[in-house]
Amino acid sequence: MAKFPVEPFKIKVVEPIRQTSAEERAEILRRAGYNLFAVRAEDVYVDLLTDSGTSAMSDRQWAGVMRGDEAYAGCRNFFNLEEAVQTITGFRHFVPTHQGRAAENVLFTCTVAPGQSVPSNMHFDTTQANVLARGGHPVNLIALAGLDPTLHAPFKGDMDVARLEAFIQETGPENIPLGMLTVTNNSGGGQPVSMANIRATGEALHKYGIPFFLDACRYAENAYFIKLRDPDYAETPVLEIAREMFSYADGCTMSAKKDALVNIGGFLALHDEALYQRVCQELIIREGFPTYGGLAGRDLEAVARGLWEGLDEGYLAYRIAHTRYLADRLVEEGVPILEPPGGHAVYLNVKRFLPHIPQSELPGQALTCALYVEGGVRGVEIGSVMFAHEDAATGETVYPDLELVRLAIPRRVYTQAHLDYVVETCRTLYERREEILGLRYTYAPRLLRHFTARFEPV
Ligand code: F0G
């Protein structure tokens, strides 16, 4: 029987949630155009749409909010954050941003020219879209193990470094302004990247003079996986593991809404002085002065404190075991998931859950809708709606290898009973899976389609 970890906190503030009936939810969904992003949060019972910005902050973080210094320039909270960022990442310079994609926007505006390529293990959707928005090509070079949803391997987020080198030689280093690694790999199931792979990716890029950035949203969960799964790091403090991860890179983008346990915030950190100067110019246009970067002083303080809490080993042990519990319970019930589970989410393996629905009929989206109607559980499709694209040469639709529904777990928010309820919802649905029908688009925008597309049942 799966084991639930004992929480390293107790609950001081609660937010009531409300259950609706299946009939009400079917109507809500129809009005929302079968897109869960268009459903009101109040009409959701257990919200696993994202682990981003949904953390419960600690009393210490809330106390920090009251210590917000709202000066336009040089507020004390900036310096507290600077100390945390520099101690943890080791990067010389950093600027706050209002969230992760703002850091991506500023970075790519300063580095990517039209026609250039940005390789990564796997870009997240906003990273991909930000590269595309600069006229660049986002390229995913994940090692093959990362595309096998049933293979048990410790580091399925690893980059295929041999393919990366071949790609650099084909494309020419002058056409690659930077390379990236997403740690953990969100789009590929929240799988961690090994230390050896981070080092090797850095070496391969640096050999050709190409800067290397980490997409570091979930760097602490990645560091904890390294501690759990790489015997060389079993006794190493997580802070030291994190510092080593960052030491192979030239900079990072960070959405603090994940491993820094806040509701809003992010940053861009880097070594290069000249690039930092350009970043500051760009930041002032888009986000704000470099000592606040689109955030209030109180938010900066919450990020500074949250960065430390997110590295606490008692917290991380609980966090990873909490996610593992949901995965193990689903496996016990025979529900197909991506294995092993990642750090921040459990991913339902849609190709095995709904083999009767072809990717052209959007089975992942169909499953998110069914989960909502069945139990008021909100997950997110990470499959054909998010990633299918038209082949530039043939005009044919290219579907992603992985068709997933992500159940992302907000940090410090849901109890064992909530997770058991989600398992029960998934189990009931799995028993009735043949009744689930595919969907077709009634509206689809060109970029970041999943947020605003609308559908109808086939
Ligand atoms: N990179 C990764 C790997 C992410 O998962 C996200 C956000 C971002 C960048 C962008 O950060 O939201 O602060 O602008 N992921 C959220 C999610 C939205 O649900 O996975 P942001």
pLDDT at 30: 98
Is domain 22-51+313-457 given the CATH code 3.90.1150.10 in the classification? yes
- At 447, the pLDDT band (50, 70, 90 cuts) reads confident
Instruction: Name all residues whose Cβ lies below 6 A of ligand 1.
Output: 50, 52, 99-101, 124, 126-127, 182, 186, 215, 217, 255, 257, 266
Going by alpha carbons, the residue nearest to atom 18 of ligand 1 is 52
pLDDT at 218: 98
Tell me the average pLDDT of the chain. Answer: 97
Mean pLDDT calculated for residue range 103-121: 98
Q: Each residue of 339-356: pLDDT tens digit?
A: 999 999 999 999 999 999
Best residue for ligand 1 mutational test, from 184, 187, 219, 258 (most atoms within 8 Å of Cβ): 258
Mean pLDDT calculated for residue range 7-35: 97
pTM, whole model, 2 decimals? 0.96
The domains of the chain are located at 22-51+313-457, 59-309
Best residue for ligand 1 mutational test, from 105, 107, 181, 257 (most atoms within 8 Å of Cβ): 257
Q: Which one is predicted more confidently, 17 or 392? A: 17
Mean pLDDT calculated for residue range 79-100: 98
Is domain 59-309 given the CATH code 1.10.599.10 in the classification? no
Partner residues linked to 94 by β-bridges: 269
Going by alpha carbons, the residue nearest to atom 15 of ligand 1 is 52
Mean pLDDT calculated for residue range 30-58: 98
